[in-house]
Structure 1
Amino acid sequence: MSTEPITSPELQKNRLLRLTIDHYRTETCSEKDIYKWGYAVHWSPSSMRGAAKALNASLGDRWVIRDHDMWAEFWFRDMAALAAAASDPEFQKLQEAEGPYASKIHIEASLGWVEQYVADGKVVNVTPDGKPDFLSFEEMSAPPL
């Protein structure tokens, strides 16, 4: 018997999924070059990682400071939408262009959901008394279909 939560595709459409891909640059690519080439929205140059490490040390070294150079996020409602984007010819061209910049050896990824409170300039997923109005934890944490 499966212990994984089960939910319907209709309920899962209410969940905003986020796939984060963390990239390291190739050994021959400078931080400046990957920044000039890059398409990511989020950057993490060594100067920022150093500042985070110093802050962490002052707080007792409880954090693991991630050392990747950049990351990209993909937001979608279901795995079919992600699969469609990944198979899009333009997206595949973009991945081919990464060659001299982004390392293919060590790529990290995480998949989760976003609890969205504003969409199209309007407050969403909040009850009239100001409480979050999301699916249950069991429904939200069910593996994507």
Structure 2
Amino acid sequence: VWDIKKKIGYYAPAMTDKFSGRHSIENMLISGLNDSVGLYVKPTAFQQRIIKQWLALLDLSDIKNTFFNALSTGKQRLVMTARAMVKQPPLLILDEPTAGMDDDSAALLVALVNKFAEETDTAIIFVSHRKEKGLKPKQTFYLTPHETGSTGSIK
């Protein structure tokens, strides 16, 4: 199971509730490298360099020691999405990551996903019940409901 978990990055908004402790933004991102809730081992210099780059990319370097639970919903979702990306998994699954976000926060998250898609070889599954403005998918799978179930098509 752990070998499989290393190869998958996953985020759904319900996961945010699992991080109710006093974790800094920096520690949240570091914990994504090990798929842990919290830090139990001191991060290596290499891991710290990776996270420093992510903090700069997210424009969060100046507030890296801010507690995660003090952030707005939009910033929390951005951090959690980045947390799923930091280990650069072969597969990234984002399940409704923009649900409940304001338009500006959603646009920032979509821009991050687009950048990650362009710059990595990661396959991304982005699940959404709405068309995400600005998202640049290579393929879209549409589900069409019917009386007896649903059918799907790729466009």
**TM over 0.5, shorter chain:** no
TM-score by length of 2: 0.21
TM-score by length of 1: 0.22
**Structure of higher CA gyration radius:** 1
Higher relative contact order (CA 8 A, sep 6+): 1
Greater helix share, structure number: 2
